[in-house]
Amino acid sequence: PGSQGCATVPSVPLQYGLYSSFMGCFVYCLLGTAKDVTLGPTAIMSLLVSSYASHEPVQAVLLAFLSGCVQLAMGLLHLGFLLDFISCPVIKGFTSAASITISFNQIKNILGLQGIPRQFFLQVYEMLRRIGETRAGDAVLGLTCLAVLAGLRAMKSHLPRAVPAGALAVRISHLIVWISGTARNALVVLFAGLVAYSFQVMGSQPFRLTGSIPQGLPAFRPPRFSLAVPNGTVPFQSMVQDMGVGVAVVPLMGLLETIAIAKAFASQNGYRIDPDQELLALGVANVLGSFVSSYPITGSFGRTAVNAQSGVCTPAGGLFTGALVLLSLAYLTSLFYYIPKAALAAVIISAVVPLFDAGIFWTLWRVKRLDLVPLCVTFLLCFWEVQYGIVAGVLVSGILLLYSIARPPIKVSEGSVLLVQPGSSLHFPAVEHLRDCVCSRALAASPPRSVILDCCHVSSIDYTAVLGLAELLQELHRHGLSLAFCGLKDPVLQVLLSADLEGFQHFPSWEEA
């Protein structure tokens, strides 16, 4: 049910959710490094696909192929470290905004409304304007499903640990509650389907149903590199241009989601993961998945949690997951006809609501308020367009990072000489700041004082910084002052000696200087 629900987010036929649910399981079994992770369609990845695939299954499948190629290339080039430049505030801002966006995108199905635009603000306006057109049957069923899902989630979260030596009745009750909580999506959809079928038998249907889903397995064939339209054919180049930055954003966010989930469960279970190996696994899964009409997939938090709670010991658990999906495609698709769209919408809303982290705003306010800037920029712009929010958040985080490099803390102690101690490495953006700080303090003193530059915290230095230090030496020398270095680490000392600076002198410590 979760896979079918995810397919409603990018507005592709529901069978594509199932087509996307098995290849990743088989591939990750062979190439993955985290025993709990399961690859498949997710609500967040589906939201990204909806932004770049124009609701066209052909484009969505091609995007999976291109994303897989990008991820494979990154894995082979060991570029997994690039994820380190996406900060936690950016991730939290994106996931929180995605939670709200996806939920609102599904509310139209809860209310039984059709013809609602995809853009968030237009979506909210149109739903409020047409609230009077709400279908009572869909609304009642959808809200009931939401309440049941919330109740089962709460019941499972408060379930005490099972006691093997406990009474048989207690153990059976514990197992029933655990299964009900773990399989809550399937139980709710099954219940809703039975209700819809009952109404169908009685000759009335108050719900909007999923409808017919083609039975059988998808054909194994390459993705289509052109799109047939009424006026002709859209070539490959135009399709890629339509996707725009999605060709980069989708693979990066897919890897980010997988790594975040894998790290969370790896830390709980005491094992490590390899980001580059995860890239390879995700890349192969997306490339092969595109041959069975899959749209881009990534690590699924819900499925991974079920895996972990079920006691899965190796990635081979994916074999069973994939096999069950294939069996469903082969024999059960006729039963999916009676699944109400409101029930699938409730499943998706229930899955994404926990992604909204209201506490992160207060946490950052207490810990470091400057980090609220990329968080809020990402959060707000994601309501406009997801890609703009992510890119803007990364840029703002990068600017804050560069500012800290360009303006390192500098401690100045006055005495018979001026002791200057940079708080971090010296790179070209920081040179002018250091020169201004030294000159303004050394020359403004009465009388002017020589300078000792304590480099105990400087672990690296670049050529532009060396030139800046040479100019500082000359400027102080013109005023009859000297500049001595102390506490130089070996790599920094080798660079300065190689530069052959005029008047360069260094000492092991500032006391000796």
Predicted structure pTM score? 0.75
Give one word for 174, left, alpha or beta, with left for phi > 0 and alpha for psi -120 to 50: alpha
Q: Are residues 48 and 188 in the same domain?
A: yes
Q: Are residues 346 and 421 in the same domain?
A: no
Decide if 397 is inside a domain: no
Decide if 314 is inside a domain: yes
**325 touches 297 (CB < 8 A):** no
Structure tokens at 183: 């399989």
pLDDT at 256: 79
Structure tokens at 130: 């047409």
Decide if 368 is inside a domain: no
Q: Read off the pLDDT of each residue in 268-273 and give the average, rounded to a whole number.
A: 68
Q: Are residues 162 and 293 in the same domain?
A: yes
Decide if 267 is inside a domain: yes
Decide if 380 is inside a domain: no
Residue 293's closest CA among 329, 252, 259, 251?
329
Helix (H) or strand (E) holding 3: helix 2-8
Decide if 443 is inside a domain: yes
* Residues in a beta bridge with 234: 227
Residue where one domain finishes, among candidates 335, 353, 371: 353
Helix (H) or strand (E) holding 101: helix 88-111
Q: How many domains does the chain have?
A: 2
pLDDT at 500: 86
Between the CA of residue 43 and those of 6, 61, 75, 302, 485, what are the distances in Å? 5, 16, 24, 10, 56
Positive/negative CA dihedral, 409, 413, 414, 419: negative
3-state secondary structure at position 340: strand
pLDDT at 180 over 60: yes
Decide if 367 is inside a domain: no
Q: Are residues 296 and 166 in the same domain?
A: yes
The tens digit of pLDDT for each residue in 416-446 reads: 888 899 988 888 888 889 888 888 888 888 8
Q: Are residues 11 and 120 in the same domain?
A: yes
pLDDT at 216: 84
The tens digit of pLDDT for each residue in 347-381 reads: 888 877 887 888 899 999 999 999 999 999 999 99
Q: Are residues 73 and 211 in the same domain?
A: yes
Residue where one domain finishes, among candidates 333, 353, 373: 353
Q: Are residues 331 and 434 in the same domain?
A: no
Range of the domain at 285: 1-353
pLDDT at 138 over 60: yes
Residue where one domain finishes, among candidates 353, 386, 421: 353
Decide if 300 is inside a domain: yes
Q: Are residues 96 and 183 in the same domain?
A: yes
CATH number for the domain harbouring residue 468: 3.30.750.24
The tens digit of pLDDT for each residue in 302-316 reads: 677 667 666 677 888
Between the CA of residue 231 and those of 227, 228, 234, 397, what are the distances in Å? 11, 8, 9, 44
